[in-house]
Structure 1
């Protein structure tokens, strides 16, 4: 069985940086994001790791893990909300005491997805892949991003529906202060192989493929154990997004997932938008998707609301989902069962 945490307003939100901290010149962004949470009625505590960044990490692995462990084991903490992703979260996994985790939501994406996926695979505790805290610093959130609260307030046994965005952002600008953080200028269009509409059902797993691929073959990436122990071998829907890889690196990573059995009993794959996916010798990302669809005999959707070209739907690792894609639009229903 999957264990679903429940978000409760006026309970404690803990901000910690298990990957990258916030550079001094950007501290004002974190202050503003925390103020927005507080204005909603949340009590917020900020860990020391959030304020430092040196040599591609907020602190040494043991320091980051110690702060995270204290929050994972604190029954007054209702949500752990990192400021953003980074590069080297994988360093802390060996120091995390998974057996002592008290269920609570963890929300984030990018490098944070390493922690999210590892925790769900090892413990069966649901985790939430969605907005970073820094991206909530504006006075307003777009409708897609704002759904993070609705999703996390969903109780065990209930369901929550989310829909594809109207527009998405191409270019980041952390230095300009605006009421709405994202520049949503481009028309959203969820696509499928051969433009065929589909409906797929299964348990959600996924994250940033650049980093979660490194869990393969480790104690933190045992998908078979998760399937047998927590979901009684129900089918899986993978959602994946590419941050920095060329198409050939993406292809290699997907083949590794295939060889490792991560696509066994899979009912479909969802790929997020990406400004990476650079072609190599006319080999492009749609070629990759088509080859994978043919090899695995699976429906594949791409350019969905997930990843580094926001906004993004909040996907819950472990949740039962029904995903519909038709005429460029998407609908994701998640049931906490």
Structure 2
């Protein structure tokens, strides 16, 4: 049974941490101000503004900031400032048993994918493939905020995970399967292979999305997952967008899906808007969902959060 963090309410406290690459202090401050305008209180990690090239402080320092948020009884939501690179480096310094006893909502995407799946696998808590601090700004599409605040509230389930209007999920390989959903950014997940934090897809629905990679690189990562047994072990596949990805050698992202993913024979839908694109559907990592690839639907079967 997955562990659910408590639902988010107006007036609750959000803990802001930088777990991978740095974000400009002025941007952090502007996003925090926007969060506060929504009626949320904010506390920040000691190393939130640290910069060391493409990393924000040492791995141990970033991990200490995260653990401090799990230890703070007032914090209800932990929101990374951004992803970038380096998140997997904090994992050896986390106390997964303590986290299991003090679950909080953790939301993010990009390299935060590594953390979301590690928390689900090693602490048993449901996490959220959804917004980060960088997304809290006035020009963020209302759809994204609606998704986020619905997922972190006690919205009744089951309910369909709806793409934005005019962007349907596309059925590719028929089948109707249920199971916990895992996954996120393809590059980040591939980087976990061969580590103690390798993604476990056994009996799961696997979500994949990517950003700014040529499609031959996307193919390479998909092949690595296949050779590692991740497609063999999963029950179904949800392919998200490949945001800003470039065609290569006359092949497109759609070609790679049709020529590589479809022949895997697992129930498959494509086109989920979650992750790096303009629109960000909220996906509860570790929660049970139903993938109906006959009709092109993805339905939450349980909430991502718990009653107070």
TM, length-normalised to structure 2: 0.87
Deviations 1:193-248 (A, max 9, x none): 3xx77654321101111112111121112517xx5xxxxxxx31111111232222
Q: In angstroms, what is the RMSD of aligned CA positions?
A: 2.6
Check the 8 A contact 1:190/1:303 in 2, yes or no: yes
1:118 shift after superposition: 1.2
- Tell me the equivalent position of 2:170: 191
Matches within 5 A, 1:1-337: 1-9=1-9, 10-24=11-25, 27=26, 29-101=27-99, 102-138=102-138, 141-154=141-154, 158-166=157-165, 188-193=167-172, 199-221=176-198, 223=200, 235-324=203-292, 332-336=299-303
Q: Which runs of 5+ in 1 are unaligned?
A: 167-186, 228-234
Check the 8 A contact 1:33/1:138 in 2, yes or no: no
Check the 8 A contact 2:267/2:293 in 1, yes or no: no
SS of the equivalent of 2:15 reads: strand
* Alpha-carbon distance in structure 2 between the residues aligned to 1:154 and 1:217: 37
Check the 8 A contact 2:174/2:268 in 1, yes or no: no
* Alpha-carbon distance in structure 2 between the residues aligned to 1:52 and 1:241: 28
- Tell me the equivalent position of 1:182: none
1:286 shift after superposition: 2.3
> Do the aligned partners of residues 310 and 324 (structure 1) sit closer, same or farther apart at CA in structure 2, a change above 3 Å counting?
farther
- Tell me the equivalent position of 1:169: none
TM, length-normalised to structure 1: 0.80
* Alpha-carbon distance in structure 1 between the residues aligned to 2:235 and 2:107: 25
1:141 shift after superposition: 4.4
1:314 shift after superposition: 0.6
> Do the aligned partners of residues 192 and 161 (structure 1) sit closer, same or farther apart at CA in structure 2, a change above 3 Å counting?
closer
Q: Which runs of 5+ in 2 are unaligned?
A: none
